[in-house]
């Protein structure tokens, strides 16, 4: 990275070499802000950086490597004036039934989808708190609210990210910071090719997680009706437009999944019988 005088917001985007991260970096640059594009492999980002040599910066970053996380954020603070917007976009899928899960692959997915973003958040918060401003955008998924067969471990990692995000906004918004959880549906981002698949297939789940796996493999990265460029514009507008919303649902499929889940939750949580059962377990004062 080269030293730059701070004249506009600096976005640090993880997983910016492809998909939504790349689309968002391009949108941010087109709007005149600065971007620190990061990913494990930097070559795919070089062309975009060359188009905006004064405002685009590239750094190698594996979010599961604590030393790289610390070094990249420290360099951004020292040379680029500090991170104004952190976008935790790097992520990977895992497809398979819960029983089929491989411990190593599941832990690797959690390292990327949950522990990596958590490390990035801890790294940027001291600078943001000192300046009294900043935004943190965590890219989750509709699967972080709606769990389906074959996506148990992926959903678990995204549910965890959503819970962390919710706690975070209660902690840092009184300090003048902003936190946003992005929940996209199916977008053509190349995520399928980067996903882990369970190594073993159990025929007991052929009609559930197995069927979903076959569907995903068959469709590949042609699945999903979402446009990454439009999603990028929506995220940019949400960050710069302010507002009080904490969640950004992107894609008609995501909206449909979320609203259907809300209806299911109301059946389980609302109503006189539910309230009566809850009260019946309270300790009775003597």
User: For position 139, which CATH number holds?
Assistant: 3.40.50.720
- The single residue of 158, 205, 209, 236 carrying the catalytic annotation is 158
In this structure, what token pair is assigned to residue 67?
């030393």
For 130, the 3-state DSSP assignment is helix
The CA-to-CA distance between both ends of the chain, in Å, stands at: 68
The pLDDT score that the predictor gives to residue 3 is 44
**Domain-located, residue 158:** yes
Residue 37: which H helix or E strand, with range? Answer: strand 34-39
| Tens-binned pLDDT, residue by residue, of the chain (286 aa) | 444 445 689 999 999 999 999 999 999 999 999 999 999 999 999 999 999 999 999 999 999 999 999 999 999 999 999 999 999 999 999 999 999 999 999 999 999 999 999 999 999 999 999 999 999 999 999 999 999 999 999 999 999 999 999 999 999 999 999 999 999 998 766 666 678 899 999 999 999 999 999 988 887 665 567 899 999 999 999 999 877 899 999 999 999 999 999 999 999 999 999 999 999 999 988 7
CB under 8 Å to 12, separation ≥6 — which residues?
A: 35, 36, 38, 72, 73, 76, 83, 85, 86, 87, 120, 124
Quote the CA–CA distance of 239 and 245 in Å, as a whole number.
10
Q: How many CB atoms lie within 10 A of CB 146?
A: 20
| Residue of 206, 242, 117 whose CA lies nearest to 168 | 117
Range of the domain at 33: 10-253
- The single residue of 17, 18, 135, 155 carrying the catalytic annotation is 17
**Domain-located, residue 265:** no
**Domain-located, residue 15:** yes
- The single residue of 94, 153, 154, 205 carrying the catalytic annotation is 154
Long-range CB contact pairs, 128-133, < 8 A, 24+: 128/82, 128/83, 128/172, 128/177, 129/172, 129/175, 129/177, 131/82, 132/175, 132/176, 133/84, 133/176, 133/177
Mark whether 236 is an active-site residue: no
CB under 8 Å to 65, separation ≥6 — which residues?
A: none
**Domain-located, residue 153:** yes
The number of domains in the chain is 1
**Domain-located, residue 143:** yes
**Domain-located, residue 95:** yes
In this structure, what token pair is assigned to residue 225?
């009706």
Quote the CA–CA distance of 183 and 251 in Å, as a whole number.
9
pLDDT digits (tens, 9 = 90+) for 87-119: 999 999 999 999 999 999 999 999 999 999 999
- The single residue of 9, 18, 135, 140 carrying the catalytic annotation is 140
Quote the CA–CA distance of 120 and 14 in Å, as a whole number.
9
Residue appearing with tokens 């590949």? 220
**Domain-located, residue 258:** no
The pLDDT score that the predictor gives to residue 7 is 61
Mark whether 140 is an active-site residue: yes
User: 151 vs 47, 97, 253, CA distance in Å?
Assistant: 34, 7, 16
The pLDDT score that the predictor gives to residue 174 is 97
The pLDDT score that the predictor gives to residue 73 is 98
Mark whether 52 is an active-site residue: no
Mark whether 17 is an active-site residue: yes
**Domain-located, residue 86:** yes
């Amino acid at each position: 990275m080269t030293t730059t005088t701070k004249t506009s917001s600096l976005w640090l985007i993880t997983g910016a070499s492809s998909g939504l991260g790349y689309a968002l970096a391009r949108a941010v640059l087109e709007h005149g802000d600065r971007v620190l594009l990061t990913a494990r492999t930097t070559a795919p980002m070089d062309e975009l950086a060359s188009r905006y040599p004064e405002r685009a910066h590239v750094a190698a970053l594996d979010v599961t490597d604590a030393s790289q996380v610390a070094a990249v954020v420290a360099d951004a603070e020292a040379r680029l004036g500090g991170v104004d917007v952190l976008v935790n976009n790097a992520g990977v899928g895992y497809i398979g039934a819960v029983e089929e899960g491989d411990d190593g692959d599941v832990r690797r997915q959690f390292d990327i989808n949950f522990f990596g973003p958590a490390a990035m958040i801890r790294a940027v918060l001291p600078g943001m708190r000192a300046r009294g401003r900043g935004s943190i955008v965590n890219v989750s998924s509709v699967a972080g609210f709606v769990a389906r067969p074959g996506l148990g471990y992926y959903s678990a990692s995204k549910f965890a990210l959503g819970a962390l995000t919710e706690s975070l906004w209660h902690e840092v918004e009184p300090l003048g910071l902003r936190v946003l959880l992005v929940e996209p549906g199916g977008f053509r981002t190349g995520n399928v090719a980067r996903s882990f698949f369970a190594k073993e297939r159990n025929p007991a789940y052929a009609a559930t997680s197995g069927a979903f796996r076959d569907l995903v493999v068959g469709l590949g990265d042609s699945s999903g009706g979402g446009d990454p460029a439009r999603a990028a514009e929506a995220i940019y507008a949400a960050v710069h437009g302010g507002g009080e919303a904490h969640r950004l649902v992107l894609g008609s499929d995501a909206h449909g999944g979320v609203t259907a889940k809300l209806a299911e939750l109301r059946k389980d949580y609302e109503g006189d019988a539910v309230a009566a059962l809850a009260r019946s377990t309270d300790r009775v004062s003597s």
